[in-house]
Structure 1
Amino acid sequence: MRFKIEDVEEYFVFQKYPEKDESFPVHGDILTHLGPNDVFWDVGANVGIYTCFAAAKLQSGHVVSVEPNPNNVDRIEENLQLNGLSADVHERALMAENDEGVLQIYEDAEAGAFGFLSEDGSSVESESLTIDPTESVRVETTTGDALVDDGVPAPDVLKIDVEGAELEVLKGMERTVEEDVRVLYIDVITSDEFYDRTVAPDEVYDWLDRHGFETERLWDWDGGHFIRCERT
């Protein structure tokens, strides 16, 4: 797999995404659970790492990539083109309802930067840190259920990595999750140092339990942990 890299920092970021890496098992685990005809949704796609690897595997399936940062969307398209792959790329943020918001982009405004969605464009504040965004862009928000209603194929396998808004995404695609999703991967945010939308992990786990999922913790990092959720 080939990815566009513009500097040394990006180079080191990409080093944790080989096809199999015991120190970062999430990526390989997703590929293992993809069937040949599955539909995979990459929600919070960033620069399209999961999107590209899934598209390479799902020659008979379908990949849907959802990312609100326009700089990242451009990079997703470039990375797909570098590998001769295709995916259905949506420049939107998935939330609990259809609306619009202001995406605060942090670190730098180039591809790969992380961001948070706010209604009024205010910066993120916490007791320990205040960080100012380097760029603010107005973005469309929609729900996963609305995308499916508009004709986007529903996911069999779903990955959510949305900087603390994971419960909002789940609420906005409750019907689709109940009817279609077989395996669900979520980056559950636990830190409140950088994340002003942090939801208590118990709320995410309670939602998953109510909808018939059994969870397994795959990987821990400083701000949270990745889980795999399967139907019980």
Structure 2
Amino acid sequence: MLSMVKPQYLLQKLRDKFYSGHLRYIVRQIGLNKILSDPYWKLVYVFSGKTQTHDIDGHKIEFKTDTFTEFMRFRSFAGEEAILKDLLQSLKKTDIVYDVGANVGTYTCFAAMKLQSQQTVAFEPESRNAERLRGNLELNNLDARVLEVALSDTNGTIDFALSGDEAGEGEHAIATDQATETIEVETVRGDRVIEERDLTPPSVVKIDVEGAELSVLRGLSETLRENVRLAYVEVHSEKLPAFGDSAPEVRAFLEGAGFDVTELSSDRSEFFLRASK
């Protein structure tokens, strides 16, 4: 019965049925897709029930989507579904995972579901994101440690740039000269925070820090050499220069730490490096 179909699924079924073939080609050619896309997804969001459920490699997670920003982030995982699948398939039962730049917990939740209690540690300095991350863990009855600090190569505090007012904004980062709205957050070297907070060193790390990749890697240099067997680093080629760094330097650092490095995605200025031993 049509009345039993949830509105958001009905909208997507209608889109899949009619927005295809020759019509899809024409709409894209004249640029109408750019005009219609945002209203369409906002309508789907209205009927979404403020949660989304995703299944990757047999691991099903429900995410809160109280804002349109979160809804769009989880709709496609910002193009990172293949990375998540690779991570989940690569994890071992004994792994300890650090999610650096965890945002609202996409990687944290999936890793925590695959592993046992307290084998996942999330680092997210922005308080609204950290709060939502904890909410997503609770929603799925998952256990992970959430630390509201920014990993870097210095200990102290630093200005942290905000890209918007909603949880799930994906571009919060250590501030550069171009930042307009900032907050002060605690920074700590990864090697030091492990010792100070009595954390188990990671065997797997995922890093997504909007251009501050090398700062995080330098602060974790000892841990990377001695403990980490697998790292996923999102490289932001256009943002690295603001920190005095470059994409080739990120790769070179990982190789210098003893990793074999491969590029998992290369269709954007932002791409993931997979570093393994």
Q: Which TM-score applies when normalising by structure 2?
A: 0.73
Confirm or deny that 1:219 pairs with 2:276. Answer: no
Correspondent of 2:234 among 184, 187, 194? 187
Give the 5 Å matches for 1:55-134.
Answer: 55-59=112-116, 62-106=119-163, 108-113=164-169, 114-118=171-175, 122-124=177-179, 132-133=180-181
- 1:51 maps to 108
Correspondent of 1:3 among 55, 63, 85? 63
Correspondent of 1:167 among 185, 196, 214? 214
Give 1:123's aligned amino acid: Q
Gaps of 5+ in 1: 125-131
What is the number of equivalent residue pairs in this alignment? 215
* Greater fraction helix: 2
**Do the aligned partners of 2:73 and 2:168 also contact (CA within 8 Å) in 1?**
no
Q: Indicate how the Cα distance of structure 1 residues 44 and 195 shifts in structure 2: closer, same or farther if over 3 A, else same.
A: farther
The offset of 1:105, in angstroms, is 0.3
**Do the aligned partners of 1:188 and 1:227 also contact (CA within 8 Å) in 2?**
yes
Q: Secondary structure at the match of 2:242?
A: coil
Instruction: Name the % identity.
Output: 36
Coordinate RMSD, CA, aligned: 2.1
Gaps of 5+ in 2: 1-60
Q: Which TM-score applies when normalising by structure 1?
A: 0.86
Give 2:274's aligned amino acid: R
The offset of 1:110, in angstroms, is 1.6
Runs of 4+ that moved beyond 4 A: none
The offset of 1:102, in angstroms, is 1.2
Alpha-carbon distance between aligned partners in 2 of 1:149 and 1:95, rounded to the nearest angstrom:
15
- 1:206 maps to 252
Alpha-carbon distance between aligned partners in 1 of 2:194 and 2:232, rounded to the nearest angstrom:
19
Q: Indicate how the Cα distance of structure 1 residues 201 and 212 shifts in structure 2: closer, same or farther if over 3 A, else same.
A: same
**Do the aligned partners of 1:188 and 1:226 also contact (CA within 8 Å) in 2?**
yes
**Do the aligned partners of 2:118 and 2:144 also contact (CA within 8 Å) in 1?**
no
Q: Indicate how the Cα distance of structure 1 residues 164 and 145 shifts in structure 2: closer, same or farther if over 3 A, else same.
A: same
* Greater fraction strand: 1
Confirm or deny that 1:228 pairs with 2:274. Answer: yes
Q: Indicate how the Cα distance of structure 1 residues 86 and 44 shifts in structure 2: closer, same or farther if over 3 A, else same.
A: same
Give 1:11's aligned amino acid: F
Post-superposition CA distance 1:24-48 (Å, at most 9, x none): 4101111111111210000000000
- 1:140 maps to 186
Alpha-carbon distance between aligned partners in 2 of 1:201 and 1:9, rounded to the nearest angstrom:
28
Alpha-carbon distance between aligned partners in 1 of 2:216 and 2:109, rounded to the nearest angstrom:
22
**Do the aligned partners of 1:165 and 1:198 also contact (CA within 8 Å) in 2?**
no
**Do the aligned partners of 1:103 and 1:138 also contact (CA within 8 Å) in 2?**
yes
**Do the aligned partners of 1:183 and 1:230 also contact (CA within 8 Å) in 2?**
yes
Instruction: Pick which of 9-18 and 141-150 moved more.
Output: 9-18
